Structure 1
Amino acid sequence: MLSFASLASLATLLLPAVSAYGTGFTGQKVVSGYFPSYQQSPADVPYNLYTHLDYFVFTTTSSPSSISQAGISDSVITDFVTRAHAAGITTSYVVGGWTGSQYFSTHVSTATSRATFARTLVSVMQQYNFDGIDIDWEYPGQQGEGDNVVSPNDSANLLLFLQTLRSVAGVNARLLISINVAGMVGADGNTLTDLSGFAAVLDYVTTMSYDITGTWSGFTGMNSPLSAACAPPSNPLSIATGISYLQGAGFAANHILVGMPAYSYSYYVQGPLTQRTCPDGTKPSLYQYATVGSTCGTYIGNGPQFLYKDIYNSGYFASQSGYRRVLDQSSQTWILWNPVTLSFILTDSPGTYYYKARQFFQRRLAGTNIFDTSGDTSDGRLVRAIHQGLKIDPTTTVPTLHKREIVRVSASTSSAGAVSSGH
């Protein structure tokens, strides 16, 4: 099996011969975020904390000649773009998403429909003065929400479409696609190992390294773990595996953005930690199974989804909150457990954001893509931590990024949980 270093070297050999990228690729560190038009006002976005913003979302329709604004008015779109540009921030718009990917397969299936769809997307980009387009197809060759059109030729047709889109949009349009952390599948159902053709026409790619575990999984686990070293065999995905996949398949590190969630899932558990006397004796506390009669966990139900700002503003990290706090070093995830309510929250914090971003800096990645801008606190605790981690501005003030937490997180390589009071 190839090592991470070997994969990185192989990626260099696989890179296509591209003479130059346009202005869509800056070559600088990127702190990008998705603006959720359905739940945040353009006036509430801290534009100065980002280098790029993605308007979320337009959705596909049954015709390649149109896309849907998903009920959002023109005034919201133009207000967002105007404010971003006034702040010196470039913008793209996202087409697709979980609920908007139904017709991608149809629209990229023939040369004629690909050309029509490409002209449609570029027309929308020009109409609203966006700087680029983000294709968020969930997922080529695989079912997503449940009613998507799916074909085994989806990934191959997507590449043909992106080549057409680049031709129509021009060299300076910022083109990006988002790829499932598990990878993209080919016609045979296996994961594609060569994405060099995609790398040749895209400015950036986002690895969707969130929703790796959630309330649908049947067990508790991390939303966006840095490492899957302690994960059960059925759930081997992580930020690290997503990065390794893209580099091994042909994307240069400085074109890779890591998707980071500003939201968390919660559960109800009868005890804070799974005992290590489970059958194989190796599973950590974070993975608790809902199987009836299981001796391997105490997971009894699902709780609400939280934005990070709600966790912070509710004081759940405070010692008087009733929540016990444990930091899992391997995944860089905080465990918050309330023995009275049985609430069990697995969340990021400025400290884990900082640590992860520092890993991205060391791997020379392009940066991050946060989902979404409404999830952070009003003073941008999460995004400021990314600035520090990527060394964009080491002097950036992070009010709650305690030095104690940074030291504890950065110094440890243990996969065991470490109790800390930082948040």
Structure 2
Amino acid sequence: MSRFSRFSITAAVLASLTLFLSPTSRGEEPKREKVFVGYLFGPPKDLNYALYTHICHAFVTAGGDGRLNPNRSVPSRAVTTEAHAAGVKVLVSLGGWGWDDQFREIVADPKAEARYVEAVVKLVDEFDYDGIDLDWEYPDADNEVPGFERLTRTFRKRLDAIGKAKGREMLVTMAASSNFGTLSRLDPAFLVETMDWINVMTYDFAGAWSPRAGHNAPLFASSQDGPNGGSTARAMLDFLEKRGVPADRLAVGLPLYGRGFHVPKPYTSIQGSSEKPFDVNYKDAVKRLAEGWKRTWDDETKVPWLTSPDGKKVIGFDDAESIRLKTDWAMSRGFRGVFFWQVDGDRLPDGSNPLQQAAHQAWEAGRAAPK
């Protein structure tokens, strides 16, 4: 998230993408279903499956030798069985933040790569998952690209074979940074060829690496962050306009957490501060509101802030209003849909999920709107 390099697509890449997508090479592109995706991290807690079209079950990790690490939560036949009974598909998420070294080691050793592929494919088949969500964060060096592409194409081929045998579609998705430059080495035509869609993590725009107390996930950039300020809209449009990835292959990330800073007001410098920024789930933000924290609305960025009663801390977070606006925006722009990290973040004691429910209403309205 700390890199903000910019990448210009060459004419050759654009030409290859145009060729790949042309009616003469592929025929008419089918109308793809809109998705409403939740990342499930840890044991499920009375999930409201009616909200989702897909669950990404996180995470399955592995060592550099390609052997899968034990995990008490993933894989789970109970999760796939419950989800399928509700008409929801489940992908197993591979990797996650901090596991890029292991991916690099796996694809550098043919035996490790073969062992890893076999183990993942067996897991998907035996636990009845509907595909994989590849969370290699990130293949951002030239020498990693061949291995990433080879691994992805192998998974695509093997999973399609499982799908043919089971008589149902199998999916391959991936997680991508909101900084499109981290995927600048991946050919857009390759992404379109192999990925059903890409989950763009449009959050973490501010943190300990930032010069000031910015918002975790603004819809639009703040003028106080200068001409290169990050935002959900800017990140998604970069994928469209600078990377050439079609809108229906991109899902917009909606965080169920915010980030706080030990400063009196938003956009105050945090340079030299000894106190680190802190994460706050939405359900904890609700508690802070009850304790007297003040909510203010930033109409430029279309997101709220919380200020502590003593005026010494601020939290940039999302609530039902901002989540609804983001979902409206995503649907109006023709994106594949939205996804949430992670589904327990807005779970309140009464069993409700206020942010995901607000988003679902907007998602349904956008899906039904005439085009």
What is the match of residue 158 of structure 2?
Answer: 168
**Which aligned pairs between 1:23-172 and structure 2 lie closer than 5 A?**
27-37=32-42, 41-64=43-66, 66-69=67-70, 71-72=71-72, 77-109=76-108, 114-141=113-140, 152-170=142-160, 172=169
| 1:258 and 2:252 are equivalent in the alignment | yes
Residue aligned with 1:382, SS: helix
| Residue identity in the other structure for 2:205 | I
Higher helix share: 2
Alpha-carbon distance in structure 1 between the residues aligned to 2:18 and 2:325: 30
Q: Match of 1:124, as an amino acid?
A: L
| One of 335, 339, 343 as aligned partner of 1:365 | 335
Indicate whether 1:177 and 2:167 are aligned: no
2:121 partner SS: helix
Distance 1:322 1:393, change over 3 A: same
- Give the TM-score taking structure 1 as reference length: 0.73
Q: CA separation of 1:208/1:127 partners in 2, compared to 1, >3 Å: closer, same or farther? A: same
1:342 deviation in Å? 1.8
What's the secondary structure of 1:226's corresponding residue?
coil
Match of 1:204 among 197, 205, 212: 197
Separation in 2 of the partners of 1:242 and 1:287?
20
Q: State the shift of 1:35 in Å.
A: 0.5
1:234, CA displacement in angstroms? 9.1
Q: Distance in 1 between matches of 2:54 and 2:153?
A: 23
**RMSD value over aligned CA atoms?**
3.2
Q: Name which of 225, 233, 236 aligns with 1:240.
A: 233
Are positions 1:287 and 2:267 aligned together? Answer: yes
Q: Which residue of 2 aligns with 1:408?
A: none
Q: Give the percent of matched residue pairs that are identical in Structure 1 and Structure 2.
A: 24
| Residue aligned with 2:157, SS | helix
In the alignment, is the contact (CA less than 8 A) between 1:53 and 1:92 conserved in 2? yes
Corresponding residue for residue 302 of structure 1: 276
Partner of 2:166: none
Secondary structure in structure 1 of the residue aligned to 2:267: coil
Q: TM-score, normalised by structure 2?
A: 0.82
Which position in structure 1 is the counterpart of 2:10?
none
CA positional deviation for 1:111: 6.0
Aligned amino acid, residue 267 of structure 2: Y
Tell which deviates more after alignment, 130-139 or 165-174. 165-174
> 1:376 deviation in Å?
1.4
Aligned length: 344
Quote the Cα distance in structure 2 between the aligned partners of 1:391 and 1:51: 12
Q: CA deviation at 1:339?
A: 4.2
